[in-house]
Structure 1
Amino acid sequence: MGKKTGNEKEKEDKEAFEPLSLESKAPGTVVLLLSSQEEDILVKASEAIHKFAEKGEENKVVLLGLGALEPLCKLIDHSNKVIRRNALMALGIMATNGEVSDALKEEDVIPLLLQKLAPEEDVVVHEFATLCLASLAVDFTCRVQINTNDGMPPLIKLLSSPDPDVAKNSLEIIFNLVQDVESLEVLHELGGIPPLLELLKSDFPVIQHLALQTFQRVTTDLETRKTFREELGFERFLDLLDNMDFNDLHAEVLQTVSNCLGDIETLQLIHNNGGLTRLMEFLFAPSSPEIQCIAIKCITRAAQSSESCNVFHEQMMEKVLVELLSAADDNVKASACQAIAAMSFHPCSKDRFRELEGIPIVVQLLHSESSALREAATQALSSLTHSNKANALAVYEAGGHEILIQLLSESSSITVASSAATLSNMAEQENIKSSILSLESIQALVEPLKSTDTQVLISSALCVAQLACGNTEREKFHKAGGLEPLVNLLHSNDKEVLKHACLAVYACAGDTSCAVKMCRLGALEILQEINQSANRRSSFSELAMTNLLNSNLPVKYSRMGRLSANDIITSGFFDAGQACVGQPFLTLEELIRQPLNQQRAIIVFNIPNEDAVDLAEDRKTSPTESEICSMKKGRITPKKKKEKDKPDEDVLPEKSPIPFGDVSVHMLIKEAKDCVYQLTDEREQYAALARLVSEVMGGAVPREKLHELGWVMDHSQLRFQLKSNVLPIGMINKGTYCHRALLFKCLVDTIGKSCTLVRGDYNRAWNEILLFKVDSEHPRFSVPCRYIVDLMHQPGALLPIDSPVAQQYQTI
């Protein structure tokens, strides 16, 4: 090649750009330089950015606003080692700011950062890559990304880094990762426990605290606890507890011990190593209340196992806990109550707490101003009194029932649930139940039934079931508005809530007015739906429905079409016909208020009061139409037979179900008694009663002349006369199968005999009776036989239940 001529060299010199020495005090200018193609500029710019970010939080936010994040993320993968390191240092420092960290989540930087954890990278790169990842790992989506990119293995290796900052950052990332269950398993599988234990020996408290916090989390996993035990982790923890130089770590050590004491193997290990004795020393040591509370928490956790509780029982732990109930700090007393609650699940401890006179102390704690302490005290009493009458009596003697009723209005769901559960336990004893009921406890349970907390609903419903055992209590509960929230609980999908709601419905349904109200609220339809479900049906729902129907016979007959011999009809019963699906069942009062209509008449059995009876007996006849109208208004025109000089009075008492009495039915009852009681043969008694019913309802009717009976016209005339759709059964002069069967059942039940009432189709109804006849093969024995009573064609005939004539009587 020839040499350049002078002219060429001169031209080249003129075109060359002279090197520029640039200095800038504007961060915006430096951020722009991060996009340069020259390595020297990138080195200086990234270093300047790092130094600027180190000076304060405001600078980090300024750099974010200037757009430094994106170019820095690109530069951490630069081929130049210095540029790569400087950019990573700048990014790591900036990422410690919350705003920068949030913005960094939007960048796809996690895979690049994980690459920088490789062993060949220098310590500085490890430090700032882990610092950046630690800021990101707080976020769930970032943790998922770290796991997806297999980030756990290099992080575990870096726990053993000689650089404390690298170890600390890596530990912080792992702590955040193990908040997710999947990472717990990964850490265990990759052998992360031994290096974690080694970090307990660190000279840096921040690393020790982080390691302990990580252990608190990882020891919630059973398999990890096993490894922890195998790696002599408990021995190391006990060494820390024995060393007062590490008293700042004791709280966190005890938290981890608490997690592990649920395993009987661990408990036995600690017990054999003297750890339980050391643990009990912490309960009374002149340490902080916080340490005492955590130590008690360890006891509470361990006491959930019966084997552990036996160990504590041998160590007289109950005595220690009772003494702690008198501690100065409310948190310590609350923790002691929780431990008592845990240990009281075991009968041996229940009795010992009572013998140590701990129950009156716990009762006194119910008066505390601390809501947390009241909450814990109610939990202790609930556990102490469960299936233990002696403890329930001790609570009662200490006056606990009075304050427990007041606590039913607390805002804490735990307090309310535990108070209701304790009252239920106490109410199993009749004398205590009476005292509880005298304090308006049944009314205090209404609000808890509206709770959204499952345990409150279970306990309060159980308490209602326990206390609503008499009509007075049920009436109070009804008036307080308790039935509506109770019925609403039947919609619950929680099996325990539903079970206890059914128990409470069963108890309340013992009162007719409550049963009627619950039916109006839809309880019957809900229970029918439940009992048709394979998943929700239970013996409790079936019992609730049975009792609800048994206490509301008009509904039972309407819905089920059958009354058994045990279903005794009383005054106020009415037949409103077969229930239609989806149609509400109206009360008698509602039916009476309806205007005349074309629907079937409602037949009512209503025994009159004495005034109406006196009037009828005086006349020896049924009331006239004008007198009936007066009775409907609640008054009669003639004066009373026995007090003729007195002014007119209301005929019916206040609680009469309808505004006029059925004087005719009263006379029928009297005639039935005279007719039946003079006969000794039971068969003849039923036959005579059947003939009486037939006689008053139009007499015998041949099957082929049923259409000539004219009962429809008779009922229409009576409805017009009474101006009501409700017809008293004693006023009916013509009746078909359904009317005669109803009257027969009413008379039979009233005079103390027994029969069923069964509804068929097309106005058919019949009565079944049970009689005993001599067994032809064994004359010394009698066998029960069921008969249908003929009230229509051959009144008084008893038709064997399976005979063709009986089948014909039941069908058209």
Structure 2
Amino acid sequence: MGKKTGNEKEKEDKEAFEPLSLESKAPATVVLLLSSQEEDILVKATEAIQKFAEKGEENKVTLLGIGALGPLCKLIDHSNKVIKRNALMAVGIMATNGEVSDALKKEDVIPLLLQKLTPEEDAVVHEFATLCLASMAVDFTCRVQINTNDGMPPLIKLLSSPDPDVAKNSLEIIFNLVQDLESLEVLHELGAIPPLLELLKSDFPVIQHLALQTFQRVTTDLETRKIFREEQGFERFLDLLDNMEFNDLHAEVLQTVSNCLGDIETLQLIHNSGGLTRLMEFILAPSSPEIQCIAIKCITRAAQSSESRDVLHEQVIERVLVELLSAADDNVKASACQAIAAISFHPGSKDRFRELEGVPIVVQLLHSESSALREAATQALSSLTHKNKANALAVHEAGGHEILIQQLSESSSSTVASSAATLSNMAEQEIIKSSILLQEGIQALVEPLASTDTQVLKYTAMCVAQLACGNTEREKFQKAGGLEPLVNLLYSNDKEVLKHACFAVYACAGDTSCAVKMCRLGALEILQEINQSANRRSSFSELAMTSLLNSNLPVKYNRTRRLSANDIITSGFYDAGQACVGQPFLTLEELIRQPLNQKREIIVFNIPIEETVDLAEDRKPSPTEAEIGIKKVRMPPKKKKEKDKVDEEPQDILPDKSPISFGDVSLHMLIKEAKDTVFQLTDEREQYAALARLVSEAMGGAVPREKLHELGWVLHQSQLRFQLKSNVLPIGMINKGTYCHRALLFKCLADTIGKSCTLVRGDYNRAWNEVLLFKVDRENLRFSMPCRYIVDLMHRPGTLLPIDSPAAQEYQII
């Protein structure tokens, strides 16, 4: 190739473009320049965009809208350091806006930003790269991406950066990362604790607060607490508490202290080094109520385990808490009460609080106008009185039971639950129980039984079980409407509520009227269902059902088909037949009101209240006498001695009254005859035989098995029902009866005269009685093991059939 001539060179110079200086006030134009290949243009464009973004949030959103973010992210990795730095600064400034930050997540820029955290990069790059990451790290997916790209180690190194902005941004990213368990568990392994502790010395409050917030999170991890302890972290935190210049940090410092007191190992080391003493001095030192409350909560946190309570008790923490009960601020007193509630699980602390006169002070706090303080004080009393009779007595002497009863109608569920729990604890002593009952304590429990809060229901039911100890109290509880909500608790799916509800039902069922009422409310059916469930059944549900049945023998015989020797029939008992699935058990009053029907007769055992007629020589009444009570008849008055004779009007029996209301005269005569016949015999076997013969004679006499159909008992009882115009028949009026009628009469008479026997219902109108007798070994003059016998009341009245004999088996079945 030859050399260029002068003319050619001149021509080339004329064709060359002179250097161009660009100026633009349109952001969209500048964004277009980000695609230029000229470095000078890129430097000016990125610098212009950076300055534009710094002017305000609207500009950042504008830049996002005109598409600046994508090109800028690409320029972050430019080979030109100035372009790279300007682009990174622009992106960092824009990322502080929420909309931009959300858009940045779609740019897959995190790996690129993490690459800029190397020591080779300058502080400005570090600052704005971490600024971008800090804006993005609030998002979970971004945190996962940071961890996936191993971002934690370079961030921890940057905590020691001399540039406070870099340190602050890195710390903010780490704080967000440790919100996830994965990062939380590995932070201490990466050596983050020492540089975090150093940041507490920073001259910048924002860095100190961020470091404390990070410590508050990371010290929830046990392994991190160990490293924190080894690095004397707790001592440094106590130093911060001692320095009032840092009182703005005290609240966050105490949050970390609370975490450290959460495990016994750390607490023990703190105690051994004098840290607990320093903490209690700080609690009592003058400070803001807010800080005092947080400090007291540290003690509450520490008192969650029995080992920690031992340490606190050794430190005489009770004295500090009692002193705080007299603080001026209600919140401080409430926090002290919460701490007392926690530490009082230690038996020694319960006694020490009483010895320090703390119990009456807590009782006085129940009168506070602050609902939060009343709630905390009630919780403290609940804990103080749990299994501690002396403290319960101290509360009673301070009049605490009166206001606790009033608090059962509070709106706060926690206050109501704690009040009921405390009253239950106190009611374990009879003298206190009497005082509670005098203040209508058992009636006050009715309202909280309708609560939806499980703790309220649990402790209220527990208190009912404690207070429903006598028929008077049960009657008051019933009249106040407590039985229905109590029975409704049996539907609860909460095991504790159900357990205590069953126990309360057991207690209330000690009164027959309550037992009858609860059965009418469906308690028996619910308990049967519970006891058939493998998950819900418990000893308490079984106890409740047994108690209900034992106090309501008509229901027991109807449902279980058996009355034991301990089930003593009394006046008012009735046999409504065998239970039918799905049919409710009706009361005697309801059965009496029913019109005549074709169903089985109802047999009632009713002893006369008073004699209104002279007993005739015949044991059975005449047909006319059998109609007494359904017709208006004149009853002759009893004869009196001449000196006592007064004018006496004849007594009328109203037509709408049932004969059972006036007693079963024939039954009364049978009872008298049974006493005369049985008690004159000395041999127990003969006594049962004589009673059996009496029952047989009263019910139509002995009937050979092959002639049972000739007895005519069905027709006889139908005639009685027609005469009485009732399905309910007094047992004494039945002249002809089969197995079920005779067995019932035998049980009634035996129980009335004090003889022991069972009553068992079989199938097809079969029923029988079992008696227990000892066989006498006359040679050795001693009793052998007892044997059970079935009493024959039908075929050979008075015969005792060994329970396992063929004759006994034949007696029980058709």
Displacement of 1:620 after TM fit? Answer: 7.5
Question: Is residue 2:475 matched to residue 1:471?
Answer: no
| Distance (whole Å) between structure 1 residues aligned to residue 11 and residue 668 of structure 2 | 141
| Distance (whole Å) between structure 1 residues aligned to residue 689 and residue 776 of structure 2 | 19
Residue ranges of structure 1 left out of the alignment (5+ in a row):
none
Match of 2:283 in 1: 283
Question: Is residue 2:313 matched to residue 1:295?
Answer: no
Match of 2:754 in 1: 752
Of residues 611, 614, 621 in structure 1, which corresponds to 2:612?
614
Q: Give a deviation string over 1:323-346, Cα, whole Å, max 9, x none.
A: 221111111111221222222222
Match of 2:764 in 1: 762
Match of 1:736 in 2: 738
Report if aligned partners of 2:595, 2:727 keep a CA contact under 8 Å in 1: yes
| Distance (whole Å) between structure 2 residues aligned to residue 658 and residue 129 of structure 1 | 97
Question: Is residue 2:641 matched to residue 1:645?
Answer: no
Displacement of 1:75 after TM fit? Answer: 6.6
Report if aligned partners of 1:616, 1:663 keep a CA contact under 8 Å in 2: no
Match of 2:726 in 1: 724
Match of 1:811 in 2: 813
Q: Give a deviation string over 1:372-417, Cα, whole Å, max 9, x none.
A: 2111111111111111111111111110001111112222222222
Q: Tell me: CA distance 1:524–1:212, structure 2 relative to 1, closer, same or farther (3 Å).
A: same
| Distance (whole Å) between structure 2 residues aligned to residue 215 and residue 460 of structure 1 | 42
Q: Tell me: CA distance 1:798–1:43, structure 2 relative to 1, closer, same or farther (3 Å).
A: farther
Match of 1:261 in 2: 261
| Distance (whole Å) between structure 2 residues aligned to residue 606 and residue 312 of structure 1 | 67
Displacement of 1:28 after TM fit? Answer: 6.5
Of residues 783, 795, 802 in structure 2, which corresponds to 1:800?
802
Match of 1:327 in 2: 327
Of residues 667, 670, 691 in structure 2, which corresponds to 1:668?
670
> Which is higher, the Rg of structure 1 or of structure 2?
2
Match of 2:270 in 1: 270
Q: Give 3-state SS (helix, strand or coil) of 2:203's partner.
A: coil
Q: How does 1:329-408 map to 2 (within 5 A)?
A: 329-408=329-408
| Distance (whole Å) between structure 1 residues aligned to residue 72 and residue 275 of structure 2 | 53
Displacement of 1:505 after TM fit? Answer: 1.6
| Distance (whole Å) between structure 2 residues aligned to residue 798 and residue 210 of structure 1 | 92
Match of 1:514 in 2: 514
| Distance (whole Å) between structure 1 residues aligned to residue 613 and residue 196 of structure 2 | 99
Match of 1:532 in 2: 532
Displacement of 1:12 after TM fit? Answer: 15
Q: How does 1:308-707 map to 2 (within 5 A)?
A: 308-610=308-610, 613-615=611-613, 617=615, 631=629, 636-639=632-635, 641-642=637-638, 644-645=648-649, 648=652, 661-707=663-709
Residue ranges of structure 2 left out of the alignment (5+ in a row):
639-646
Match of 1:237 in 2: 237
Displacement of 1:595 after TM fit? Answer: 3.9
Q: Give 3-state SS (helix, strand or coil) of 2:786's partner.
A: strand
Displacement of 1:92 after TM fit? Answer: 4.1
Q: How does 1:145-294 map to 2 (within 5 A)?
A: 146-147=146-147, 150-294=150-294
| Distance (whole Å) between structure 2 residues aligned to residue 68 and residue 84 of structure 1 | 15
Q: Tell me: CA distance 1:409–1:48, structure 2 relative to 1, closer, same or farther (3 Å).
A: farther
Q: Tell me: CA distance 1:665–1:630, structure 2 relative to 1, closer, same or farther (3 Å).
A: closer
Displacement of 1:456 after TM fit? Answer: 2.3
| Distance (whole Å) between structure 1 residues aligned to residue 454 and residue 660 of structure 2 | 42
Indicate the larger mover: 83-92 or 718-727: 83-92
Q: Tell me: CA distance 1:229–1:717, structure 2 relative to 1, closer, same or farther (3 Å).
A: same
Q: Which amino acid aligns with 1:432?
A: I
Q: Tell me: CA distance 1:650–1:724, structure 2 relative to 1, closer, same or farther (3 Å).
A: closer
Q: Which amino acid aligns with 1:614?
A: T
Q: Give 3-state SS (helix, strand or coil) of 1:614's partner.
A: coil
Q: Give a deviation string over 1:38-64, Cα, whole Å, max 9, x none.
A: 877776666555444433345555566
| Distance (whole Å) between structure 1 residues aligned to residue 171 and residue 578 of structure 2 | 74
Q: Which amino acid aligns with 1:504?
A: A
Indicate the larger mover: 286-295 or 178-187: 178-187
Q: Give 3-state SS (helix, strand or coil) of 2:536's partner.
A: coil
Q: Give a deviation string over 1:8-56, Cα, whole Å, max 9, x none.
A: x99999999997946234x667677778898777766665554444333
Q: Tell me: CA distance 1:22–1:277, structure 2 relative to 1, closer, same or farther (3 Å).
A: same
Displacement of 1:608 after TM fit? Answer: 3.9
Q: Percent identity?
A: 84
Q: Give a deviation string over 1:101-146, Cα, whole Å, max 9, x none.
A: 5666677666665565566655444434443443444455555555
| Distance (whole Å) between structure 1 residues aligned to residue 137 and residue 93 of structure 2 | 15
Q: How does 1:89-104 map to 2 (within 5 A)?
A: 89-98=89-98
Normalising by the residue count of structure 2, what TM-score does the alignment of the two structures yield?
A: 0.88
Displacement of 1:803 after TM fit? Answer: 1.3
Indicate the larger mover: 412-421 or 56-65: 56-65
Q: Tell me: CA distance 1:639–1:724, structure 2 relative to 1, closer, same or farther (3 Å).
A: closer
Indicate the larger mover: 740-749 or 312-321: 312-321
| Distance (whole Å) between structure 1 residues aligned to residue 577 and residue 694 of structure 2 | 24
Q: Tell me: CA distance 1:541–1:82, structure 2 relative to 1, closer, same or farther (3 Å).
A: farther
Report if aligned partners of 1:69, 1:91 keep a CA contact under 8 Å in 2: yes
Displacement of 1:799 after TM fit? Answer: 0.9
Indicate the larger mover: 76-85 or 343-352: 76-85
Indicate the larger mover: 619-628 or 694-703: 619-628
Match of 1:23 in 2: 24
Q: Give a deviation string over 1:71-114, Cα, whole Å, max 9, x none.
A: 76677677876666555544544444455556666776666655
| Distance (whole Å) between structure 2 residues aligned to residue 593 and residue 103 of structure 1 | 81
Q: Which amino acid aligns with 1:500?
A: H
Indicate the larger mover: 60-69 or 228-237: 60-69
Q: Give 3-state SS (helix, strand or coil) of 1:769's partner.
A: strand
Q: Tell me: CA distance 1:714–1:316, structure 2 relative to 1, closer, same or farther (3 Å).
A: same
Q: Which amino acid aligns with 2:743?
A: A
Q: Give 3-state SS (helix, strand or coil) of 1:351's partner.
A: helix
Report if aligned partners of 2:612, 2:635 keep a CA contact under 8 Å in 1: no
